[in-house]
Amino acid sequence: MAKSYIKNPVLKALKAFPPSGHPRILDLSCGDGDVLEALTVRGYRGEGTHYREDDYIFRNRSEVLDRIPLHGGVDLSKPLPFEDASFDGVIATEVLEHLPNHSAIVAEVSRILKPGGVFIFTTPNVHRLSSRLGFFCHGSHNMSGALLNWSVPVDDLYSTHYNPVYFPVMHSLLYQQGMRVQKLGYTRSNPVDFLLMVLVYPVLVLGLIGHLRKHWRHSRAAAKDLGRWMAHPWLLVDEHVLVCARKRAGVWG
């Protein structure tokens, strides 16, 4: 079940779609269906996917899953079973960190999105300052969930957080697939991250400018856009990064 501090910001980000238009929204790995339930109440045509019938998160399913299209057996590391340009929006809440490959799912999301459609995802934010400090101290990011360990069977890797989502990489993958980041939402944070931001923000900005110089020669526009988001306060303090990206017209038809 999606926590309210994740579900509510996702719903807020979707307000660009008027309910009267009945936009078609796909919730990847929809879990118990609580996000889909909220979407249907607001007038969206929601659909969901899940991977296995014994899915670790598929426990207290919402009754809405009995009334809407629910696509079972969908492995998000493989091509999605949907036609090109068939959805107005795609949602993935706390999903990407469970996948072995992020480039494949970004390409598939772009393919099934209509031009102008939005891709909204949340994932544990390894760029928040307390996570960066933790990495400095012990070499491991705070992934906010079940971590991979030696006892997890290979077939159950998807039930753990084992592949952190790095924003610069995701920014490039979205850009390559014709999607542009439109906004970062806010879920929740802790006072430590705000304190760290106050103390080190100028140093971070200077370091970021130096880092972006090597990207500048490839694409000034992309480098400038990446710098805008990497310096965004939400990326520095938010526990879960929430990204809203829009597919440009003329991409994939």
Q: What are phi and psi of 108, to 5 degrees?
A: -70, -40
Per-residue pLDDT tens digits for 7-17: 999 999 998 88
Taking residues 176-185, report their average pLDDT.
Answer: 96
Encoding tokens for residue 81?
A: 């079973």
pLDDT for position 21 = 82
**What is the per-residue pLDDT across 96-126, written as a single tens digit (0 to 9) for each?**
999 999 999 999 999 999 999 999 999 999 9
Looking at domain 4-190+237-247, its CATH class is alpha beta
Specify the range with the lowest mean pLDDT, choosing from 36-40, 79-83, 148-152. 148-152
CA 102, distance to chain mean position in Å, is: 10
The model's pTM: 0.94
238: exposed, middle or buried (Cβ count in 10 Å: 0-12, 13-18, 19+) = buried
Query: Under a CB-based contact definition with an 8 Å cutoff, are residues 187 and 237 in contact?
Result: no
Domain ranges of the chain: 4-190+237-247
pLDDT for 152 beyond 80: yes
Q: What 3-state class would DSSP assign to 74?
A: coil
